[in-house]
Amino acid sequence: MTAMYIPLHPLKFKSKIVDQIEIYKNHFILSFTREPEERFMAGQLLALTTAPDTIPPRLYSIASAETAEESTCYQIYYNTTKEGQLSNRLAALKAGDELHRSSPFGQFIFPKSKSYFIAVGTGIAPFLSKIKSTDHFQEVKLLHGAKNLELLLGHEIFSSKLKKNYIPCLSQDSAYPGLFQGRVSDYLQNCDASKLPLDYHYYLCGSAEMVVQTRDILLSKGVPFNLISAEIYF
Ligand SMILES: Cc1cc2nc3c(=O)[nH]c(=O)nc-3n(C[C@H](O)[C@H](O)[C@H](O)COP(=O)(O)OP(=O)(O)OC[C@H]3O[C@@H](n4cnc5c(N)ncnc54)[C@H](O)[C@@H]3O)c2cc1C
């Protein structure tokens, strides 16, 4: 018996694919049309699918800017997974094709001005959206992990806006000695607790493994539980 899909977030819109770029093996930025009046807050999600009758929608964080002037399309950052039903179909989409999607929704938003963002891989999407959308980033810190520089999506914009508050970590690329070599968890494990401010809110985004590991290190370094929020991609 197949499980019945109950749509919590109705697929009200059809969007046209504007562009698809493979930034690195199996990692894609997909751009598709946004309705002119649609608003969202950085950190929110879309439910989407290519074939609503046969493939239940999956969730993707919006990676593009909130303001329609900055971004007339939605963008998502995703990777294909082995035997993944939807992601491999998304990867086959070309300009002019259509997908079915919900309105933006979700509570993983960033109300605190003093924010410490921590992301690995595609988990950077909500923070990329936030930093593209704001000029008030003096009190924003970002710890950003990826395997290599190509996968460090947004590193130019982060470096230019956040300056020394941007900490890129490369786990499998030693060609850039100026950058931290290792995982985000290695950085946090080795980091002096005094560098983890207690007047900031910590926002974590990525796989369950990364979020749990990072949360535990933060707690062990004295960051209180109530200062930590997370979005888990599962
Ligand atoms: C809140 C939230 C936000 C998210 N945001 C993003 C985002 O911005 N970017 C992003 O890339 N992802 C995001 N995700 C994950 C995304 O929703 C999908 O789960 C992901 O893209 C995988 O979908 P899929 O269709 O490829 O895999 P599915 O078909 O759903 O399969 C799920 C997993 O099972 C494995 N699998 C499938 N079939 C088999 C099999 N026969 N044998 C063994 N393993 C199998 C697949 O490899 C995959 O890892 C988010 C998830 C959540 C919950």
Ligand 1: residue of 9, 48, 78 to mutate (most ligand atoms within 8 A of CB) is 78
pLDDT of residue 102: 98
Would the CB of 33 count as within 6 Å of ligand 1? no
pLDDT-based confidence at residue 112 (cuts at 50, 70, 90) = confident
Ligand 1 center to residue 84 CA distance, Å? 6
Q: What is the pLDDT at residue 63? A: 98
d(CA 118, CA 173): 19
Over residues 42-52, mean pLDDT: 97
Tell how far the Cα of 190 is from the centroid of ligand 1, in angstroms.
31
Q: What is the 3-state secondary structure (H, E, C) of 156-218?
A: HHHHHHHHHHEEEEECCCCCCCCCEECCHHHHHHHCCHHHCCCCCEEEEEEEHHHHHHHHHHH
Beta bridge pairs of residue 119 = 144, 205
Model confidence at 178, in pLDDT bands (50, 70, 90)? confident
Predicted local distance difference test score (pLDDT) of residue 110? 95
pLDDT (0 to 100) of residue 5 = 61
Question: Whose alpha carbon is nearest atom 7 of ligand 1?
Answer: 60
Protein residue with its CA nearest to atom 11 in ligand 1: 78
> Of the ranges 27-36, 67-76, 147-156, which one carries the lowest mean pLDDT score?
67-76
Distance 39 CA to ligand 1 centre (A): 26
Mutation test residue for ligand 1: of 60, 74, 79, 234, the one with most atoms within 8 Å of CB: 60
pLDDT of residue 68 exceeding 80, the answer is no
Looking at residue 163, what is its pLDDT? 96
Report residue 27's pLDDT band, with 50, 70 and 90 as the boundaries: very high
pLDDT band, very low/low/confident/very high, at 136 (cuts 50, 70, 90) = confident
pLDDT tens-digit series, residues 143-164: 999 999 999 999 999 999 999 9
Domains of the chain from N-terminus onward? 13-101 (2.40.30.10), 115-233 (3.40.50.80)
Average pLDDT over residues 62-85: 92
Output the residue whose Cα is nearest ligand 1's atom 49: 81
- Distance separating alpha carbons of residues 131 and 138, to the nearest angstrom: 11
In whole angstroms, give the CA distance from residue 101 to residue 48.
4
Does position 52 have pLDDT exceeding 90, yes or no? yes
* Whether residue 233 has its Cβ less than 6 Å from ligand 1: yes
Angle at which helix 155-162 crosses helix 125-133, to 10 degrees, equals: 50
Distance of CA 85 from the midpoint of ligand 1 (Å) = 8
